[in-house]
Amino acid sequence: MEEFNNIINGKKVQSGATFGVVNPANGNVFAHCQIADIPMVDRAVAAARAAFPAWSKTSHDERKEKIHALGDALEANMPDLMALVTAETGKPMAGLNGVGSGMEVGGSMAWTHYTADLDLPVDIVQDDDVASVRVFRKPLGVVASITPWNWPLMIAIWHVIPALRAGNTVVIKPSPLAPLAIIRFVEMANQILPPGVLNVITGDASIGAALSEHSDVDKIVFTGSTPTGRNIMQAASTNLKRLTLELGGNDAGIILDDVDVKDIAPKLFAAAFHNNGQTCACLKRLYVHESIYEELCQELAHLAKAVVVGDGMDDGVELGPVQNKAQMAIVMELAEDARANGGRFIAGGHAIPGNGFFFAPTIVADLEDGARLVDEEQFGPIVPVIRYSNIEAIIERANQNDNGLGGSVWSRDVAKATALAQQLECGTAWVNDHGAVQPDAPFGGIKQSGFGVEFGSYGLEEYTSIQTVKITKT
């Protein structure tokens, strides 16, 4: 059984203690990983701090070249990385509508190459006979990246690559539930980057807390739950660390009465169920106009019953297991609460027998706001469909949720849908689509879904500080 190691200052580091990584498709441990201790956190941060002066002074062209080399290394190791992602997360190699480990690794490559070519231009505020005033973007120092288990490699890329492009050094702590593809990437990266520029340490919440509190960490970028984000924010206050927090979502989709139900149902299903619903920006609650409610519910139920669920390594599988036992328990608890509150289960609603963490894709009709499945983020293959009659009232109800990551409006009338989408209280609003992110458009949440953005020039600037330089000429 393969063993994976922490990497500090370009070298594999062992503590002597390991933990097992479980394949959620069968419940078996398939790899072991060295677990970091608190002194190793200090060593990793010290290595990143020592590497920062030289790395931050490299030219933009040199950093671009090395980051493109990282993208090439991802491509060269794509089969191995895909197998690791599938084994540790359960997502299929191909997946529903092509959303699987192939997309995760391919997306990681695309984001890496795109971000490599971003620039941080100098802003000229004034340049005349009196003075020259210019605004420069400078790297912050040591960035701590804390990543989740649902899209481990791609979210690591979203954190690490802009940090490196801006001239920072990085210590990354992956989720102990899915650390392996990230460790493999850091191994590859250390064949390209100078020692200490990118380090990886593994462990439980105590390791994340130590990073969050560390006085030599200048910024934390975290993707995960809102409660953990609050803890990180509190810990970061010790030295006023910069923060980017992409936290929980409970994205609403509002479907108007003019849509073509048969055309739209597969798009809604894909937006709600890709990666088994375990994506922050999945559709989490559907508000459907009463005139098309039953028809759309039945179309979604038909799709849920037809989708192929199984081990992600098998050909033709579209949805895999829930990633871990604890998340499976949450999904089952929300299903039981929905039953108790009058939910009508028109597809699924039960665990699939076997050793893995499989739950049948589930559509629940006839719930209202106030039910846990509507109000809370389920992060699994179960979606509530809520009936409405008044569009103004449903916009208000959609906005009453504490989360504000994404939302969408679906209609043949694009102008009307766009106007309604702009009324949604969320960081990203889609029209006739949901969850589609791209490397050149900023993405982030509001309210309890966090703050700061990722992607493109907006995201790159999050890894910099502003320095204004004024030269007086007279």
Q: Where are the domains of the chain?
A: 3-247+449-472, 251-438
- Cβ-in-10-Å burial (0-12, 13-18, 19+) of 353 comes to exposed
- Convert the pLDDT of each residue in 338-371 to its tens digit: 999 999 999 999 999 999 999 999 999 999 999 9
pLDDT at residue number 16: 86
Once rounded to an integer, what is the mean pLDDT over residues 158-175?
A: 98
Once rounded to an integer, what is the mean pLDDT over residues 60-67?
A: 97
- Over 90: is that where the pLDDT of 449 sits? yes
- Over 90: is that where the pLDDT of 206 sits? yes
- Quickly list DSSP for 268-316: HHHHHHGGGG-STTSEEEEEEETTTHHHHHHHHHHHHHHS-BS-TTSTT
Once rounded to an integer, what is the mean pLDDT over residues 137-165?
A: 98
- Calculate the alpha carbon distances from 389 to 293, 370, 396 in Å: 10, 18, 13
Once rounded to an integer, what is the mean pLDDT over residues 412-433?
A: 98
Once rounded to an integer, what is the mean pLDDT over residues 369-397?
A: 96
Beta-sheet strand order (sheet of 242-246):
11-13, 6-8, 198-200, 169-173, 142-146, 219-223, 242-246, 450-451
pLDDT at residue number 15: 87
Query: Cα(470)–Cα(127) distance, rounded to whole angstroms?
Result: 10
**Among residues 33, 88, 104, 246, which one is catalytic?**
246
Q: Is 425 a catalytic residue?
A: no
* CATH 3.40.50.300 assigned to 251-438: no
pLDDT at residue number 289: 98
Helical spans, DSSP H, in 90-129: 101-116
Core vs surface per residue 76-98: b (16+ CB within 10 A) or e: ebbeebbbbbbbbbbbbbbbbee
Once rounded to an integer, what is the mean pLDDT over residues 37-59?
A: 97
**Structure tokens given for 454:** 């990722």
> Which SS3 state, helix, strand or coil, does residue 76 take?
helix
Rounded to the nearest 10 degrees, what angle do helices 180-189 and 152-166 cross at? 30
- CATH topology assigned to domain 3-247+449-472: Aldehyde Dehydrogenase; Chain A, domain 1 (3.40.605)
Q: What is the pTM of this model?
A: 0.96
Q: Specify which residues 409 forms β-bridges with.
A: 254, 431
- Convert the pLDDT of each residue in 265-280 to its tens digit: 999 999 999 999 999 9
Which contiguous run of DSSP H or E holds residue 363? strand 362-365
Core vs surface per residue 41-75: b (16+ CB within 10 A) or e: bebbbbbbbebbeebbeeeeeebbebbbbbbebbe
- Calculate the alpha carbon distances from 44 to 6, 13, 39, 156, 201 in Å: 9, 10, 9, 17, 8
- Over 90: is that where the pLDDT of 20 sits? yes
**Among residues 280, 282, 297, 426, which one is catalytic?**
280
% of the chain beyond a pLDDT of 90: 98
Which contiguous run of DSSP H or E holds residue 139? strand 131-139
Query: Cα(212)–Cα(233) distance, rounded to whole angstroms?
Result: 8
pLDDT at residue number 149: 97
pLDDT at residue number 474: 82
- Over 90: is that where the pLDDT of 1 sits? no
Handedness of CA 111, 418, 451, 404 (dihedral sign): negative
Q: How far is C-alpha 315 from the geometric centre of its chain's CA atoms?
A: 26
Q: Is 377 a catalytic residue?
A: no
pLDDT at residue number 444: 97
